[in-house]
Amino acid sequence: DQQVKQNSPSLSVQEGRISILNCDYTNSMFDYFLWYKKYPAEGPTFLISISSIKDKNEDGRFTVFLNKSAKHLSLHIVPSQPGDSAVYFCAVLKGNAGNMLTFGGGTRLMVKP
Amino acid sequence: DAMVIQNPRYQVTQFGKPVTLSCSQTLNHNVMYWYQQKSSQAPKLLFHYYDKDFNNEADTPDNFQSRRPNTSFCFLDIRSPGLGDAAMYLCATRRGGGVTDTQYFGPGTRLTVL
């Protein structure tokens, strides 16, 4: 029973273009959403987050959009850079669950020079 | 400067031979987590400590245990590893207090079971 799904296992984008990574969740009680980035041989690192009371959060080249009615989360990276090539995990948090993160399966982003 | 350190980075053990994975942190965080990540899957929470309080996920096998002797260190013990326990094991920490505090992950230990 996957509560968080990333339906695209991989995505290839040209340098300078926009990368859009998608995530769907099933539980409307989730109230905090995060994106983590993982390079090979390293642990995931926090990238950006959004609270359920917002529909957009922006940090430099990274913007996260939340569509609560569709239970859909997306991460936009623009412009994409080769150093952005990594696996991106979305994660959800239920506020009263002691910061228990539930992760999606990840999307491998490849940004081609 | 490494903040969450996991040793060893690669561990090979034999079927049924107990193994211990180590995690240490320099952040003085209250909360420490252990996740299991199998190939091409999401990291899955096994258990966590809030200070000395241990919290086991309902579906974590009995074969997996953990110890936290002090704030800085946390160990994952696998009593009788099976082939299905081969995975990347990730340790993470969180300051605690704020429910949305960021979790900081270590680089992981890749466990191979022969």
How many whole angstroms separate alpha carbon B91 and alpha carbon B21?
10
| Contact yes or no for B102 and A46 at CB 8 A | yes
The rounded mean pLDDT for chain B is 92
A80 shares contact with chain B (CB less than 8 Å): no
pLDDT at residue B97, rounded to an integer: 73
Give the CA distances from residue B4 to residues B23, B26, B59, in Å, rounded to whole numbers and listed in that order.
7, 7, 25
**Cβ contact (<8 Å) for A9 and B40?**
yes
The rounded average pLDDT for each run of 10 residues, N- to C-terminus, in chain A (113 residues) is 88 97 91 92 92 94 96 97 96 72 94 96
Buried b (16+ CB within 10 A) or exposed e, B42-64: bbbbbbbbbeeeeeeeeebeeeb
Q: Do A99 and B92 touch (CB under 8 A)?
A: no
